[in-house]
Amino acid sequence: MGKKISVAIDGPAGAGKSTIARRLAGELGFRYVDTGAIYRTVAYFMDLWGVSPKDVDGVNRYIDELTVGIEYDDEGVQHMLMNGMDVTGDIRTPEISQKASLISAHAVVRDVLLDMQRNMAEEYDVVMDGRDIGSVVLPKATVKIFLTASPEVRAKRRYQELLEKGQKASYAQVLKDVQQRDYQDTHRDIAPLKMCRDSVKVDTSEMDLEQSVAAIRKIVEEKISR
């Protein structure tokens, strides 16, 4: 069995990483790993137990009670399991998103999840997205992409997404959440969001989904063919 191909896609919240990475993985025949969903699962678990994401002692105490699992359905969609229970639909809220950002700053949480993510990249060809995939999780990834867009564009996309799901939303609040998340992700002490020196920056502010996927696929295929 040859060395597996890994595509690391990092970038700020709302840049479209999950949607683009999922599409890219499908086109390439790779396995898509949404690491944000893994941290959301931890945040959701802590939330159920009433543990604040800022409570270091509480997080350290309860993390041993949690088993995070990933399963893929016939269409390749990633499902998150929390102690065996499918919580895929429960973790997709703005509140859990903010808490996941804080949870991911805990060293104990990152240590627990790091091996899980690396093992997947050793077993499968993967497209993995997150905040520190290229810098920490897969520093030797075959291809590293830093996917970004302006805060206003990212907020607009997130706002439209919420409206389409029938959720009440205010663009001003969504923009504020995006800016707050950016600050949290870039200023945390452990594995802050940053662009690696060997990453290729892709700004999708002026691109639609098809153009974004095509641009990244071209970068990946050129790198693999060398």
Give pLDDT tens digits for 154-189.
Answer: 999 989 988 998 888 899 999 999 999 899 889 888
Q: Would you say residue 1 has pLDDT above 60?
A: no
The string of pLDDT tens digits covering residues 144-153 is: 999 999 999 9
The Cα 114–Cα 186 span in angstroms is 19
Contact between 68 and 113 under an 8 Å Cβ cutoff? The reply is: yes
pTM reported for the whole predicted model: 0.85
Q: Which of 14-28, 42-56, 63-77 reaches the highest mean pLDDT?
A: 42-56
What rounded mean pLDDT belongs to the chain?
A: 92
- For residues 111-119, give the mean pLDDT: 91
3-state secondary structure the chain: CCCCCEEEEECCCCCCHHHHHHHHHHHHCCEEEEHHHHHHHHHHHHHHCCCCCCCHHHHHHHHHHCCEEEEECCCCCEEEEECCEECCCCCCCHHHHHHHHHHCCCHHHHHHHHHHHHHHHHHCCEEEEECCHHHHHCCCCCEEEEEECCHHHHHHHHHHHHHHCCCCCCHHHHHHHHHHHHHHHHHCCCCCCCCCCCCEEEECCCCCHHHHHHHHHHHHHHHHHC
Residue 15, burial from CB neighbour count under 10 angstroms (0-12, 13-18, 19+): buried
The first and second tokens of residue 68, run together, are 């995070």
- For residues 83-98, give the mean pLDDT: 92
